[in-house]
Structure 1
Amino acid sequence: MNISQQRGSTERSQVRRAELIAIGRKLFADTSYDALSMDDIAKQAGVAKGLIYYYFKSKRGYYLAIVEESVAELVARAGSDTELPRAERVHRTIDGYLRYAEHHQAAYRTIVTGGVGFDSQVMAIRDAVREELIGAIAEGAYGHRRIPRLARLALIGWLSSVEAITLDWLGHDGDPDRDTVRDLLVRTLRRTLDTIEEFVPECPSPEPA
């Protein structure tokens, strides 16, 4: 096989893998990891079970690939819209976070709760998401991501409350509506930023939009 043929084969494999992940995202959107067997997945995807094993080695490998792919969208969204005013960027970051949780409920619960048992790979994904969100909030509030340790602790506390609120919100079928929850989280963030300023004067709370 020449270089051109190898490149074509690799590209086809990448496309096929991406197609399987897209199918899996739909299957796992509102279905837990344990609720679907590999036979179920293959049947609903309309593919041979061996094809999934070929690309992902196992059900767990397939699921982790799906989680990583969907989380990549959330992380990309958090770091986007850099041309917007800071307050609006923070607002959009929180709104995007809730939209992601709403439309990828099973994956969101997996990330926040640590996966199937204590899954170090899922925990690593969760930590990466947290780091990106804290960075995005800090940049939106202060114009940079490097902040003092105490300010970071306060934002971690706020983000932990966001996770708990979001899980409870999803458990009650999205009641109240997403806009109300978003506004609640934005206001609690405002209080957190005001408190940070009290303890860390070099991190002044930004002016309200």
Structure 2
Amino acid sequence: MSETAPAQQRGVRLPRTERRAQLLAAAQRVFSANGYHAAAMDEIAEQAGVSKPVLYQHFPGKLDLYIALLESHVDELVGRVQEALASTTDNKLRVQAAVGAFFDFVNNDAGAFRMVFESDLRGEPAVQDAVDRATSASVDAITETITADAGLDEAKARLLAVGLVGMSQVSARFWLTHHSTMSREEAVALTATLAWRGIGAGFPLQGK
């Protein structure tokens, strides 16, 4: 058995939420190592230290497991963006925190990032819906903040939010490949400065 799944885990009854988290963690390791198509439910069960029937009790099939894992990563990213926007009322710092949320998501778990932004199952409707939500929910959160603080109508605020999210995603993905030449802090600062000079200078905080 894999070292990541100690023998004593077999036969141990865990609360459903803990077992689900354990299975998703094992699935992440297998999907990251093998890709979706080469990943096997046998190996995921082995990595988790459970029998296949236990795995199938929680996830009826490999696609169900993949989508559940993908949704958990999307929730994490959206949560990071929402937390960044709520962390301060200073809009310059908000922009930097929002950009940083994408870099931290990329930096903390490259496998999660690749599932969200580089999934090889984009043709699967449920996968595409989850991937689209990673962008749309982030855009929604930023749109709401820009609308409230810059006094723009929803359409203009949404266009700016799409630009900020797109810039952050692409910059973070590029940095992931080339980050040996630049620190996370420097990369975030550069990207945030570019965004702030467009959003902050062009659309200052209403009432200031």
Above 0.5 in TM-score?
Answer: yes
State which of 110, 117, 132 in structure 2 corresponds to 1:127.
132
What TM-score does the superposition give when structure 1 sets the normalisation length?
0.73
What TM-score does the superposition give when structure 2 sets the normalisation length?
0.73
Maintained 8 Å contact 2:106/2:113? yes
Aligned residue for 1:57, secondary structure, equals coil
Deviation at 1:64, TM superposition (A): 1.5
RMSD after superposition: 3.1
State which of 40, 43, 46 in structure 1 corresponds to 2:43.
40
Look up the match of 2:58: 55
Instruction: Output the CA distance in 2 between the equivalents of 1:42 and 1:55.
Output: 11
Instruction: Output the CA distance in 1 between the equivalents of 2:168 and 2:105.
Output: 13
Deviation at 1:190, TM superposition (A): 1.3
Q: Deviations over 1:43-67 (max 9, x none)?
A: 2222222322221111121121112
- Going from structure 1 to structure 2, the CA distance change for 1:174 and 1:39 (only over 3 Å counts) comes to farther
Instruction: Output the CA distance in 2 between the equivalents of 1:171 and 1:143.
Output: 36
Deviation >6 Å, runs of 4+: none
**Aligned length, in residue pairs:** 190
Structure 2, gaps ≥5 residues long: 1-13
User: How high is the sequence identity, in percent, across the aligned residues?
Assistant: 25
1:185 aligns with 2:188: no
1:104 aligns with 2:113: no
Look up the match of 1:8: none
One-letter amino acid of the counterpart of residue 109, structure 2: H
Structure 1, gaps ≥5 residues long: 1-10, 198-203
Look up the match of 2:172: 166
Q: Deviations over 1:155-195 (max 9, x none)?
A: 31332232222222222355422112211221121133158
State which of 85, 89, 105 in structure 2 corresponds to 1:85.
89
